[in-house]
Every structure is written in C-alpha cells, then in structure tokens.
Chain A
Amino acid sequence: MTPISGAAFAWAAVVKIPLVFAGLLVLIAFWTLVERRVAGFIQNRLGPNRVGPAGLLQPVADGLKNMFKEETLPPFADRFLFLLAPLMAFVPALITFAIVPVAAPLPTRWGLVGTAIADLPVGFLYILAISSLGVYGFTLAGWASNNKYSLLGGLRASAQMISYEVSMGLSAVAVLVLAGSITLGEIVQRQQQSTWFVIPLFFAFCLFLVAAFAETNRLPFDLPEAEAELIAGYHTEYSAMKFSMFYLAEYSNMVTASALMASLFFGGWDIPFTAWDDSAPWSFAKTAATFVSFWTKTLAFMFAYIWVRWTLPRFRFDQLMDLGWKVMLPIALAYVMVIGVAVWALEALGLPFGTRYALALGALNLVAAVALFWGLDRRRLIGGAGARARGPWRAPAAAAAAARTGGAD
C-alpha cells in the first residue's frame, strides 16, 4: 500500500490537525490533574479529589474558572505585546508536536496515512526552529508586563532557553548521525531495524534529558518563575485565560519534549521485543498497539517530569548558566566528535549496523557516562557561591565547648 497523496493527503491533514491538537489539549488538561495527584501522593496528602469521581473533573473546573476570571491588564504594560506574549508562548509549544509520529501508519481506502500531521523532511530542524520561537513569548511577557519581577523572569527564561537549546541540539546530533536522517519517521524506523538509540547513545540521552528539563522550565530549572524569588516570574501580571495559556504552553512543551525523548531514544512507536509492528502489512490493530506503546513511553517521561519536580530543589541562575555553557556545551561538543570517530571506526571495521554495533557504542557511552557522573558529583563541577577559600573559625571558648558538643557536621 502506498502513502496517500494529492487531495487525499490534504483531507487527511485536515482531519488530523484538529484530532491531534484536541487530543493534546485534553491530555494536557488531565496531566495537570495527574501532576497534582502525584504531588499529593509524594507529599503524603490527597490532592484534588472533590470534583467528579477521583477528581477527574478538576481540569474542567479549572478551565471554566480560568475562562470566567477577570482579565487584568496592568496600566503601564505594553498592551499589544502583553496580549501577544501568551500566544507566542502557546502556539510554538503546540505546533512542535506536528511532526511526531505517534503510531504505525494507518491503512485506509485511499492509501497509507502517516500518524504525524506532517512528517517533514527537515524533521528535527523544524523542532529546533519552532521551539526556539517559544522563548519570544516568555521574554515578551516579561518585558511587556512592565514589572521588575516579570522582567527578571523573562530575562532568565530567554537566557536559559537559548543556552540549553544548543546542548539539546548537539546531543541530538549523535542520534542524527546514527540514523542517517533528520526525519523523525526514519529515525524511528532505524531504531526498529537495530535497537533503541538509548543503548548506543546513552550519554546523549542523559544530555538531552537535562536539556529538555531546562528547555521546559521545570524544576530544578524553573528559575524564570521561581516562586520564592520572582513571585511568578514572567507571568506575574497575567490572569485568567492568558495565564492559562502559559500554563498550557508549559505542559505542551513537556509533552513535546517527552515525545521527542521517546522518539529519538526509545524507538518512538516501536513495540520492544517483537518485529510484528515493524513492517507491512499495516493494519488498524498495529496502529492501535503502537499508539499505546508510544504513549506509554511518553507518559513515562512526563511522569518523570513530575517526580523530579517534587523531589529536587532549584538551581541558582549562575549555576544554571555554568552548567549550560561550561559543562553541557563542551561535553556535548566533545561527545559529537567522539561519536563521529567511533561511528567512522566501526564503519571502517566493517561492522554492520545492528545489535553488536549498538553494544560497542553503548560500552563507549557507559564509560563516558560514568566519568561524567563522577565529575558532576559532590560539587566538583557545580559549585557553591564560588570555590572560595573558607577557613573554619572557632571561638576561643569553642575549644572548651567542643568537648561537650555533638558537632553537627
């Protein structure tokens, strides 16, 4: 069966666009509930459970509330940009998802329908391009609000997202090298043929994971909206639906980042340990099964986002920048070179692309990852306020007192 083309393709796109985005928004809405329930579980409390069975209608209540709340507009805000900013944050976050294939292609009367809205040939470049547009939303929101806290939040957001985009892109280069393509569909296919890229490119996955957390402004990288410092950062002045749009943007960024991690490193819609789903003949059952497989992986990552958020404290801005520019970027650059050389060497050795190939690369990655974590541990790379010399001071009386004190550290 051939992929659909012509008018049928256009009609398929028309059907897919509302389907995917509506589905995405529903997922996001319910993920806010999941987040709160999981937070409750982690914090020994219940979380929202009053609206509907097990609190399932809570997102509906929240949505209604936000729609009917007062839209505030600060008198000194730049009106146009203030209104534009939530859109600028929301739209890119949502349309990034357009190229992610969520299941095996679906056979129809008119031909094979891909499950991404458009499996663009530029693939990953599209993601980098669009997701970096999102930063305008945050920066403009911070600037247009004419509020010092918002401004600081906007500045932090732009600096942070630009910094980590570089590492994110570089860590994905290894994937592109191995896949030989930048189309997400082909990256997934390539993984089906050999093994999930998380095995040969474990190290790249770690880098990508960290960068993805930073890109989505989630704890421990939620500095742009650090509540204790900046009230709410760039969206301090926003209320009602405009605020909701930032919220939706954050969550759709989270979905997209999770979907990318699943697609780039965990085989996308591939079902592990079987080749049944890998090739034609396509069927509805295959599409459904792979759909479940894809979302299982993606939701697992989204759960990890929540888990981390309620576990870790927050970085400080200089530490964040240090981590981005002084640690992640050089490491990612070096890693691209190492992988390039390794791939070249393996090709030269004539090893075919397959499981052994992957394991050889995986061993290399394991060594690199162990070295990295050893280095990251205990403030070897992430310092305190600075590696300043500090001499312990004790009062003259402390010598006598030391005998009776337990000593805290």
Chain B
Amino acid sequence: MTDDSPNPSVGALRVQFGAAVRRAAVTCGETIVYVARERARDILAWLKDAPTERYDYLADVTAVEYRDRERPIELVYQLWSLDRKELLRVKVELPQDEPLEVDSVVDLWQGANWLEREVYDMFGITFRGHPDLRRILMWETYSEGHPLRKDFPLRGRFSRSEQVRQALSGELDAHYSMEELSIADAYTTLPADMRERLRGRPAAQPGSAPPRTVAFDLFTPGPDAAGRATGVPLGVSAALEDAEPALRTDHMLLNVGPQHPATHGVLRLVVELDGEVVVRVIPHIGYLHSGFEKLGEYRHYNQIITLTDRTDYLSAMSNNVALALAAEKLMGITITERCVVLRVIACEMSRIVSHLVWAGTTAIDIGAFTVFLWMFQERERIYNLVEAWTGARLTTSLTRVGGLMADIPEGWAEELRRWCQRFPKTLDEVETMLSRNGIWLGRTQDVGVISGAEAINYSLSGPMLRASGVAYDVRKDRPYLGYESYDFDVPVGEHGDVYDRYLVRMEEMRQSARIILQALDRLPDGPINVSDPRVVLPPKSRAMADMEAMIFHFKQVMEGVPAPVGETYFAVENPRGELGTYLVSDGTAKPVRWRIRPPSFINLAALPRMAEGHLLSDLIAINASVDVVMGEVDR
C-alpha cells in the first residue's frame, strides 16, 4: 500500500453502505474512514464479520477533541485484521452542539467494555446499550466533568480544598453500590465451562427447572433507545438450591486490595465469595490515575518521554521507544542505523526485565518465594546495565525524538553479551523448580482458561493472547525497528491457562536474549541521532560556544519541534502486549491528543471472565498471570 492510496476496505464499505461512509483520508500511510454516527455500529459489525474484511481485533477505542472548538469530537476505533494483517481506523464525528451519543459495540467486542467506559469517563460520550456505563478511572461520584475535554483545565475545576472536601464528605457506602452488593441472575448466560466450575458438576439439563437465584438489576441502566439489553450482568450467582437447601448460606463480599500483597499495585477487586468459590469479581481501578494523556497535550514530544517512563514502569525503555517511534513517524524522521539497533536492544532488555518481575511475583503469589529472589537477582544485574547506559534504573527516559539520550558506554556491549549468555541458566533453574512441579502444575493448569476466539474478542494482546493460541505479535505482523530481519520465534500456547502464559513468557525471555545477541552482532558504528539541527539538540558544549547552535537549542527548548498536521497510530510489542501510541497533531509542537493503548488495562478487563467460578487462590494466580502494571492501567 503506497502512502496515498486508501485501504481497499474503503471501497467495499462505500459499496455496502453508500452515503453512510462520509469520507476517507490517508495520513502517515494509515487509512481513516469517517462514518455516519447512526450506522457506525452496523459498519463495525460488517467490518468484523464480512468474509472479505475480517477486522476481528478491536485494538482501541478512543476519542479526540481538537483545540479548534468548532471541530466535532471524533470517536476513533482502531481495527486490525489478524488474518489479513490490515489496519483500519474508523472515525465517528460527533458535533459539539448535539448530544454526544453513539451505539455501543460491546456486543461485538467484549474488549470495548472498558475502553468505552474510559471514553465516557474522559470525554462524556454516552454509549447506548453499554451494559455498565460507569466512570472507570475517575471515581463514580466525580463531579468536575470529563478530564480530557479541552474545556477542562489541566489543574481540574475545583480547588484542592474543594476536592478534599468533596472526597471527605462523600458517602463512604457509595464505594459499594447496591449493584455490587446484589446477586445477579446471570447463571443461564454463562459459558458452559464456567457454569460447571461453579456447580462442581455438569451443567443443568436444558429441560430441567432453572436454578433458583435471586435476581437484581446489576448495573446502572443506560439509555436504551436502540432496544438492546441495558444490563448484561457482570457476575453470576451460584444456584441457591444446591445440595442442602436447608442450609441457607450467604455470599461473602471480600475486598481484595487496593492494599493487598497480591494485587501488584493498587488494584481493588471486590470479590463475591460462596465459601471460597469466586462468584463475582468487580475490578476497581483508577487509584494511580495521573492524567498522563492530559498532561501530554501540554508538553512537547520530547517532554512526553518522561511521562512514558511512568506508565508501565517495568518496561520504561520500551515505552520510550514507542513514543519516539510514533513521533518520528508523524514527523517523517528516519533515524540512524545505530539508533535502530540500540532501540531494539532497549526493547528486548525491558521485555526481559518485565518478564523477570512477572515470573518472580507470580511464583510468590503461588507460594514459591525462592523463585522471586532468583529472578530479582537477574533483574538487578540487568538494571545495573540499564543504569550504566541511561543513568537511571526505573525511569530511563532513554529516547529522544530523532535519536537517543545517550550512546552506550565503553565495554557495555560486552557486558550485555555476557549477561545474555549466562542468564538462561537462571531460567533453567527456575524451570527445574516449577515447570514440572506437581503443585505448580496443579495450581496453574486449567486455571483461568480463555479460548483464542474469546481472547481476540476481549482484545487481549501480548502473552495473554498468545497463550491462548493466537500468534499475534506486532514484531512479526507489523514489523518496526527492522524486527523482520531478526531470527526469533514467537512462542504460542495451546490452552490459554495460567500455565501456558507462564511457558510463553519464559520462552519469550530466551527469545529476547537471542534477539539481543543478534543485535549486538550487527551493531553498526555511527551517530545515534539524526543530523537535523531542528530536531535534535546540539551538544551543550557547542550551544555555549556557537551562535547558531545556541539558537537551535533555544528554539527547541522553548518552542519544541513542531509536527505536521496529521495523526498516526503506532503499535509496538511491549512485554504486556500491544502498546499503541496514537498521536494527533494540529501542526504545533504539542500533540492535540496523545493516546496510549494500554495493554494491561485491556488485559485486566478480561479478569472477571477468567476468574469467576474459580477458587479465591485461583483468582490470585489468574490476576498474577495477567501481568498488570497499575501505572499503565490507570495512567
């Protein structure tokens, strides 16, 4: 596909839907289709299912409001076809003077559930037919408005004292809404395997009487103009008439987190327990919400890099690379060869670091404490290397638009090579401890199973998706940084359970070490930054001595590097999955919209589906297997 010819799907859409397809555009080689609001859901459904299109993977749902208040708010769907390896962006324009309403696509993609909630939370766009349209990152009683709207001031509407007053006077019981406390009658809508888990015996025959349950309306009902169901219950209730009808048992509501050893940050799970069986899980997130995306709109592209450190703080270098690549694509900058290879090394190092932490913390959640420390020892070693390169261990801020913050120090490559050769031995030791350990197998196999089709439907990505047997890896399917020229394998699981996720991640670490070794072999000499003085800061020594350099330095620091009008969605394969960076520019040095497609956030949305019906201990194991970093979930 050349840069100006649109995706062939556009033509097919025009044939199928006529005037409902308003217009199409191509920017940065990516096709955008603007569709009419009334037909948006039908068009998306058609794109998902039509045999010639098969855009079965909903990568992201987000919205854009331009600084020009006259322009309509755009609702953006990023679609990806796993089979055809084709990206398509569908936009719906919502004029500001009309009510911001569209039809929900949750019935097409479960993965849209949280994404639409986030858009509702941040932009105030209402999704008709959404089963659970509540705020997600801000708390439910938040009354200041919708933070990502342009009329929302960066500091918020209320003064700090007003915020405190509101928070303190808020009704504490509001944290447990009546809906949460209630028991939903969703038993019949469950997949058969979950029903079986809940009952511990084969599911009831279709002819027999349905199990007696207590029915409540689970969610705050949304508008239902389209006539679709207002409440698809999130949870289920175990059949009340079980073996002993005389024993009237109650369910227990357990608050796991936000401070809990196994929630990996500040995740709060409200868990409804029947004995130890998890009947319902309701994740509450947003405790770490820092408004990074809003902050990004007030910063130059290079200044955003420090924010990316703090989203997924376990793979900071990889996030830095993602933002730099997206900005460079937007600006049309081609980076130097040495920079490309160094960025590959940075990405793979952060993958290993992140998976090391994952393996350690998951092992600790399942009770194997020693593995944790073995993994952290390796992590210490690789962090020493990171520190030698970037000067920081966690918040690296490694990249700059057009290059890198620093070149690797003398002898560093050899250290890394030695480490890469030695560290698989630690992995071997851990595998000896766990991979064939009967208790480990019993705790992980068949736990938290999600099928490939369902994983796609939930928009899972990364090891979560691959463990379910879907070989989708951005490095292979949409190669960047020359990944197509490296020889590496993408491990794929078979059963989609915790054990397969463990195997996939363990293998990914080995593959990453393989990639690093290849990258070190081909590391070319040369500059790490492009030679364009408008993009890259001159060295400090020159800026102090040379008038021209000083002017460039001044202009870049004060005005930033403007990007041409346009937008791009650039995905990289982060340790946790597809990290998309969606940048929209209006020609200034600060983006109109900087959207992170957060893999942890989207993977976490599938947690209730995976955990319900299992035991409490399994919930912990499943939650660990999702590998969330709350900094990224909450942003």
Contacts and interface: CB of A to CB of B under 8 A. Distances in A.
A405 B471 contact: yes
Given A311-B433, A385-B446, A395-B456, A378 B438 contact: yes
A407 interface: yes
Nearest to B255: A148
B233 to A, nearest CB: 23
B471 A397 contact: yes
Interface string B36-52: 00000000000000000
B489 A404 contact: yes
Contacts of A394: 452, 469-470, 494
A390 B490 contact: no
> How many interface residues does chain B have, given as a range?
35 or more
Contacts of A406: 489-491, 507, 511
Given A228-B262, A312-B437, A384-B445, A396 B254 contact: no
Interface stretch (B160-168, B341-349, B610-618): B610-618
Interface in B482-534: 489-496, 500, 503-504, 506-507, 511
Contact of B503 (A318, A376, A392, A409): A409
Contact of B470 (A149, A386, A398, A408): A398
A397 B57 CA distance: 13
Contacts of A404: 471, 476, 489-490
Contact of B618 (A379, A385, A398): A385
Contacts of A393: 451-453, 468-469, 494, 496
A222 B374 CA distance: 22
A226 B468 contact: no
Contacts of A226: 367, 617
A146 to B, nearest CB: 13
B367 A313 contact: yes
Contacts of A316: 442-443, 615, 617-618
Contact of A44 (B364, B377, B456): B377
Contacts of A222: 367
A295 B135 CA distance: 63
Contacts of B620: 228-229
User: Most chain-B Cβ atoms within 10 A of its Cβ — which of A43, A385, A394?
Assistant: A385
A39 B374 CA distance: 12
Contacts of B373: 43-45
Interface string B445-480: 111010111001000000000001111100010000
B446 A408 contact: no
Interface in B584-608: none
B26 interface: no
B441 A409 contact: no
Contact of A386 (B197, B441, B504): B197
Contacts of B496: 393
A408 B451 contact: no
B492 A405 contact: yes
A147 to B, nearest CB: 10
B252 interface: yes
A347 interface: no
A385 B616 CA distance: 12
A62 interface: no
A261 to B, nearest CB: 22
Contacts, number: 182
A40 B115 CA distance: 45
B500 A409 contact: yes
Nearest to A219: B367
Nearest to B263: A228
A182 B373 CA distance: 45
A187 to B, nearest CB: 32
Interface in A217-236: 219-220, 222-223, 226-229, 231
Contacts of B470: 394-395, 397-398
B151 interface: no
Contacts of A65: none
A310 B370 contact: yes
A254 to B, nearest CB: 18
Nearest to B252: A148
Contacts of B394: none
Interface in B413-440: 433-434, 437-440
B466 to A, nearest CB: 8
Interface in A341-393: 376-379, 382-386, 388, 390, 392-393
A314 B443 contact: yes
Contacts of B193: 388
B196 A228 contact: no
Interface string B225-263: 000000000000000000000000000101100001110
Contacts of B276: 152, 317-318
B469 A385 contact: no
B58 interface: no
B363 interface: yes
Contacts of B366: 228, 313-314
A397 B442 contact: no
A401 interface: yes
B580 to A, nearest CB: 20
Nearest to A383: B442
A44 B426 CA distance: 12
A227 B261 contact: yes
A275 interface: no
A313 B452 contact: no
A7 interface: no
B369 interface: yes
A32 interface: no
B196 to A, nearest CB: 7
A304 interface: no
A398 B370 contact: no
B452 A402 contact: no
A319 interface: yes
Contacts of B118: none
B481 interface: no
A319 B441 CA distance: 12
Nearest to A406: B489
A42 interface: yes
Contact of A42 (B370, B495, B503): B370
A187 B367 CA distance: 37
B461 to A, nearest CB: 13
A309 to B, nearest CB: 8
A139 B484 CA distance: 60
B500 A408 contact: yes
User: Most chain-B Cβ atoms within 10 A of its Cβ — which of A44, A312, A395, A404?
Assistant: A395
B469 A398 contact: yes
Contacts of A311: 368, 370, 433
Given A379-B438, A408-B493, A313 B363 contact: yes
11 contacts: A219-B367, A222-B367, A228-B366, A228-B367, A231-B261, A378-B441, A386-B197, A396-B83, A397-B470, A408-B503, A409-B500
**Lowest 9 CB-CB distances: which A-B pairs, in order?**
A314-B367, A406-B489, A401-B471, A408-B491, A384-B446, A43-B373, A384-B445, A228-B262, A313-B368
Given A148-B252, A311-B370, A401-B476, 17 more contacts: A222-B367, A229-B262, A231-B260, A312-B368, A316-B618, A318-B615, A376-B438, A378-B438, A379-B445, A384-B444, A395-B452, A395-B469, A398-B492, A402-B492, A404-B476, A405-B492, A409-B500
